[in-house]
Structure 1
């Protein structure tokens, strides 16, 4: 025996799984059985004859009738000496009792479920003792009502038909006194060991439970307007319940229904009315509370699974629910507008009607158009995950539900809208954004849908004009429209929706919060001097970008990102600057904050290290080119390869050209001299900023400037040396020369800079990007990179891609890949357009344009 008990104990988890699985099967089976007994068409007809406030009251009565059963679980937890959270207790108790109502088996299902949910942390024997006390008193309320019903039948003025049930009533009535006496006499731990307070509480709970059952049935009948005598109905109801429970039939189906229909007919109530009464009772006491219990079950199950699997199940289900609700709203909106636009098509083709989840029969043209487009608009807010869209969406679904009840009752539509409402509520956690930034991607999708539907509606209106020449051979019958008046009402609906769409989008946009802050010179410079930077760091002082500073737990600024915003894209220039250990935390915070306010970061010219990190955030990437690095300690002009460069240096030395590195601050005269060189180099072109420095005195005053002077000591070329706030990497920004500068002046300037920076103990010199270099060379590359390869190969007519690569090749000792990373929610075409807009925006328009693209030290090649 001990071996058997141990074997059972070792496999208890399997038995629990089998039990739960069995309950699910039983419940599903009984729901199917109930479904067979419920005619949705009949219910629809019934509801059309009952006032909506009465239906609402029936729903409330059914919910109130379930509440007393929570007392069982309150008492059980007191016996077990445990105090679960009130919310957990109410939700779990509701779930157990409503499942038990459907499954039946004389309360055995509820005992098993209570053991599973409340007995996990207690000794098994203690749980069994507590549950046995609950079990024996479960039917005491029914037994009390059986005694009452017996006296009504025996001594009251009841119908002769009810006399035949006296034996069932006396049998059910004897249960309570037998159990009460047994619990008082016996002293065992399972039945007798119970105090008077607990005993009274269980009896009261059971009595209130059955008061709710009987009361809900009677009140539903009263609200239906049935002329009845409660003194005759109660004995019939109790007798039918006793027979159903004794038969152990789940939910008392079959025997209860047959007895009640026959009994009510014998009491003079029309058979169809009796069936409708039972249907409404089933719906409001069994089905609706069970649906709520199922929601509680899913909630608690998801909580358990989340706890076990680190929150992943909830994330997956809410994300899936969000996608489903977006699809349903867009699909429903499109189908409703189409049903109002081409009504004949929905009449001719049945499959179209089936596709339309909200196929109203009496809906007029204007409401149809309004509802369809409103669903699309609300769908945009939900798709964009904006918090502000939640309540308007709930309101729209509720209004549609009310409209369905009043105008065109349909179970299919009600179930669809209820499901949609539940999914919207369930996916509320996905609506986390504070505002809508109406992106180009959103405009494209919504524009195609709205424009297509509107054009179709207008075309059909024109097609149906009396003056339009209809060609019978080519006439499409489902384009036929009922009347011009109906078409015009729909067109007015489109105009109204257009206005509402604009207002709703503005509502979702809010006050348009922007992330980041304008440049704070002192704060940025302190961070760079403390933690270092890179070749892009100095660009922040152009003052044409916003900055985002990450502050660590010690309230210290450690990481700087510089970016500009175009539409919904915050384009970050290069790698972050500052403390490398904090880069992951800083980028994660930046991405999360941008996401919360509806922006999508784009990281331009990021290193491979950044690519690997951002890939974890679901970012796609495209290689933008390679950056040329010169190994300064090992750079030399010796050898056959550098023959021409040696000749250049010898020529400039022979012609008495001088190389100097000037230290700030610079005089106004020097700045003016540099300005003349810069203007000659620019010619008719405009300064373009952001990715490269533009001529700005305040910017140039921040670093050294390398100049080439001719024999007359005039500056003919210059390059500003960018502080990188590190001793590893040196680079320059503006490289400009005058018309009188001889050919090769840039080679002279570069080589002189290599020597100077080597003396300054820099490790390598950054020559900047060769755009699209070595991009898409493999047949297995991304399609966008293959397209970039074609641009590289055949775009030299517009930009010297290959020439720039070849020029830098003669100096470079290493090529480092650089990438652009973008969210998968962005269209790559729009990402590239944003980059191109910024790169080509004249500096005087930079305040109006936000974005980024970088092509480094190559302006003199343009």
Structure 2
């Protein structure tokens, strides 16, 4: 829609040049500008009544100043960004939640304000169309009165609904309509809001269009409705195109240029100034909460890198757009007296190059790169200097300097040491950068459309008449800078290898595994997953790929927190470069910030059972069954032996017999990825617990033990079909007693998939779906039975999560992960 609107705007304004538009803006009197500012202040003051009425309708009272601040911030952002319900609703949710309102109350406030906003617009538009006929040359002008009658009927119906004193039932919701008095206030406040918005533009419009406020209002409200329906931020381009068409300015440069100048001034006064003010208020408010170490700090910490990235992107665009447009003649005359022409030319060129570099560095800031932080600081200050040297553009210099001052104390937020060339640029970022360059190119053409372009133009250097050559050289330099960066990124070698690890790599990860508190890290020794190390080999991620899903098993393994955090970013960027979906499966609550920081979503996938060994014993009535089982098997000659990894190789033939018999008896096949499989090399890397009965091996389990004595666990537990009943209980009890004697703190019984998910009304859809599968999916997996079995050891249940990208790819990711664990799609539907 934005592209179509800009194309239409280009066609409507093709006879106008930049100089004409700027000349009209400069000719606006201080009286007109003052009136526009005054009407803007009055309009935003009226907007606070939306929230006042909404709070009164739900029986809540807040101080006027606090309500006014929330209302101003929400409307300043939603007017400029677009999608009012989403943007203003999100801002209201954040601030009203801090003021003690519940979710339901906030939802009612948002709906009340949104309905008031539209009721006022519809009432004003309908009344205007009935009262003032549209110009006949406009499309569908003959239908203006029928359309106006329909639009007026909607607010009238809302008023009539106030006479109904009982709630309306719409599907499963009950809607209580406001009283007639409240509904009338909604409509009047909304109409007054839009009337003041129209007045801001009306006082800026040229005198040649002075056909009365009613005629102007009819075109204004139609243009606003079309802009809102388009969902383009602020109706940019759409609103302007409709206004030009509505006033018949097509082909008339004497009329089009003043209208575009008035619209530009209107954008600055009504949209940009309130947006900047609201942004400063938000920063001040959050900074105060940060200093008090309130609950706002984590939210602000997560938001600031992206916020700085957005501002850096804006600063880069400002430098590019400035380099593409004419400088003010008065300022150029002053520069000509102070500086040689060569300094001005070089400054103009370098300012645009810096603008292009800031567009690129914005992505690095979003990725929290330390190098991007320092380069951005330097380039912002350099951009401020060159802005002054190329045209005394102190407005741009002030913007760059303010951003540099705001960025300077935030170094700790940019902690990553990765290379900027390794940062992936998604489609959205590429489109944003290319679109900015495209707009800069269009500005060059628009600003110098009457220049006779030739090859000699590139080599013309002049103070007063060299604007077009300077703009062309600056634009080409910016494009070349972007292309060089893209080429350097493309030829950079890829680090991520998907080959299975060799014995040397497995030997290298063993010390990291032994020092890691979670025994789950031993799954890397299976050798079926690829390994991604950090640059200094202080941590690693084990992962496998299936389809487009790149699935990491568990958290990054290592004791160096900086290296583990950097690995998450590296894995994410390598996946993006390969076009894959990054997934972290079965991660612990202690590490959730690693995944939230990179923008992944978290799904609870079950709970892990961990037994505190110092509290475990067989005493008491609740352990009677376990105690009797273990004592009975001891009497039958069953004994447990712990073998070191070096002694496992000699028992492999007997172990395979036990494993094959177990698989055949259970009618299952080997799982993989999140569980170990019978692999002689894997079993030979870990100690083994072996159960003997009369000299015959009847069961075994490989042990996962770390040197920190934090946690012990098992992976494969298999027994012969004719083993004594209760053999699994015997193994677990004996192993836990052995681990306690060895000084281990916890014994990990493994995860119960989908346990702990609840099918409640307000629960996320994933929780409800998982709870349904947990309760009814016994055909495919023994969900309930597994949880009940582990519960007999009285464990502590800890949630486990899966970190996945946001978006619509989740069903495919879930299918890929299930297939990966089951060893193929066939294993998903079979035991």
Q: TM-score, normalised by structure 1?
A: 0.44
Larger C-alpha radius of gyration, 1 or 2?
Answer: 1
Q: TM-score, normalised by structure 2?
A: 0.46
